[in-house]
């Protein structure tokens, strides 16, 4: 293991702000310019909206590039391309013109193909009217395929990558159909996996399926030629369900007011009451911390967990939530001092970033 993984929060943040985020910006600038050239107005609008509104998904995911050692650049390229596919398709399913599960399934075939270097690219828009994107989605898929094609250890993790992708795609299909069909579909889907996650409810299992973090973790380790079947299984078991579930439940927690106004599905609404929600978020925090101890560089994965809690609870949207301040304090205490450090630093960073610049 001839590369250095940060052991302290200040060192991690210095590396992220000085090295990784500038590379993320470079990659996103490229994809934004590609999106601006999409001929179809609807596809262009959704591609550009997904980049401008969800940039922080790429920033957060790219922290895993640290695990790729000297190949961190290539790891960022893969993570940004794959996350951009995810965010773009989410917009096409969520904010666009279709409610057709067959259309959603075909769109998300792009995410499976992106993880399968020998897969032929397809017309992912074949079940919708809007078609011409000047190969924007195909090029995103090929960028991911090219990153994975050169990894000698790819076959050792392929099944685990595709299992995580399948869970993600299933969720996206079920949760974007007609409103009256969403909950029955999600509950029926969960029944087939209940033995896999007996301690979870259908909505917690759904949340755990909605994250790309396990995929980014696996690919980044493989880019440093540090991958075998044992590690791939350990990452799968450590990240699914608890790390990924914590990630998405925090995302839903801060979006509650926004989703209410937009009429979007929010998994936090299915807890019995606020006390139940608090208890389960604390349960996910504790289980996440326990599950990442199985991994090499467990201190790094602990910091990711702490960073997730700090990052999401630093979002200005928390101020709109009933008892947001009290719940933030409780969750930061449960997560530990490092979460409080990340929380404070991100709040300061956000304040500085949003401050009007003097001319």
Tens-digit pLDDT profile for residues 250-296: 999 999 998 888 888 999 999 999 999 999 999 999 999 999 999 99
The reported pLDDT for the residue numbered 1 is 39
Mean pLDDT of 181-202: 94
Distance CA 110, CA 138 (A): 8
The reported pLDDT for the residue numbered 258 is 86
User: How confident is residue 354, by pLDDT bands cut at 50, 70 and 90?
Assistant: low
Positive or negative CA dihedral for 182, 186, 100, 113? positive
Residue 10 scores a pLDDT above 50 = yes
The reported pLDDT for the residue numbered 353 is 67
Residue 50 scores a pLDDT above 90 = yes
The reported pLDDT for the residue numbered 159 is 97
Largest CA distance in the chain: 60
pTM of the predicted model over 0.85: yes
Distance CA 350, CA 221 (A): 30
Kindly report the backbone phi and psi dihedral angles of residue 275, in degrees, each rounded to the nearest multiple of 5, phi listed first: -65, -40
Per the CB < 8 A criterion, the answer to whether 118 and 140 are in contact is no
Cis peptide bond N-terminal to 241, omega within 30? yes
The reported pLDDT for the residue numbered 133 is 98
- What is the number of residues in the chain? 359
Q: Could you read off the pLDDT of 78-104 as tens digits, one per residue? A: 999 999 999 999 999 987 677 899 999
Per the CB < 8 A criterion, the answer to whether 203 and 248 are in contact is no
Distance CA 151, CA 269 (A): 42
Residue 4 scores a pLDDT above 90 = no
The reported pLDDT for the residue numbered 123 is 97
Average pLDDT, the chain: 93
Residue 132 scores a pLDDT above 70 = yes
The reported pLDDT for the residue numbered 88 is 97
Per the CB < 8 A criterion, the answer to whether 197 and 205 are in contact is yes
């Amino acid at each position: 293991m001839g590369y250095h993984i940060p052991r302290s929060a200040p060192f991690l943040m210095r590396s992220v702000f000085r090295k990784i985020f500038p590379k993320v910006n470079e990659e996103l600038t490229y994809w934004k310019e590609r999106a601006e050239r999409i001929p179809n107005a609807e596809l262009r609008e959704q591609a550009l909206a997904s980049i401008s509104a969800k940039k922080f998904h790429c920033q957060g995911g790219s922290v895993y590039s640290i695990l790729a050692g000297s190949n961190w650049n290539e790891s960022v390229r893969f993570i940004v391309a794959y996350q951009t596919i995810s965010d773009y398709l989410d917009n096409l399913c969520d904010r666009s013109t279709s409610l057709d599960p067959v259309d959603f399934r075909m769109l998300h075939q792009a995410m499976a193909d992106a993880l399968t270097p020998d897969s032929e690219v397809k017309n992912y828009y074949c079940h919708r009217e809007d078609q011409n994107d000047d190969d924007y989605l195909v090029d995103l898929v090929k960028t991911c395929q090219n990153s994975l094609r050169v990894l000698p250890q790819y076959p050792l993790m392929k099944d685990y990558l595709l299992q995580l992708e399948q869970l993600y795609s299933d969720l996206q299909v079920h949760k974007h159909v007609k409103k009256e069909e969403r909950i029955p579909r999600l509950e029926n889907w969960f029944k087939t996996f209940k033995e896999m996650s007996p301690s979870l409810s259908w909505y917690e299992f759904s949340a755990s399926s909605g994250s790309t973090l396990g995929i980014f973790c696996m690919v980044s380790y493989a880019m440093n030629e540090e991958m075998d079947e044992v590690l791939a299984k350990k990452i799968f078991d450590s990240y699914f369900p608890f790390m990924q579930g914590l990630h998405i439940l925090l995302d839903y927690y801060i979006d509650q007011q926004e989703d209410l106004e937009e009429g979007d599905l929010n998994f936090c609404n299915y807890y019995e009451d606020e006390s139940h929600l608090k208890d389960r978020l604390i349960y996910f925090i504790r289980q996440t911390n326990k599950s990442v101890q199985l991994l090499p560089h467990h201190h790094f994965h602990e910091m990711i967990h702490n960073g997730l809690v700090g990052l999401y609870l630093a979002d200005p949207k928390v101020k709109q939530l009933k008892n947001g301040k009290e719940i933030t304090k409780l969750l930061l205490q449960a997560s530990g001092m490092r979460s409080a450090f990340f929380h404070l630093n991100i709040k300061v960073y956000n304040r500085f970033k949003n401050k009007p610049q003097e001319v």
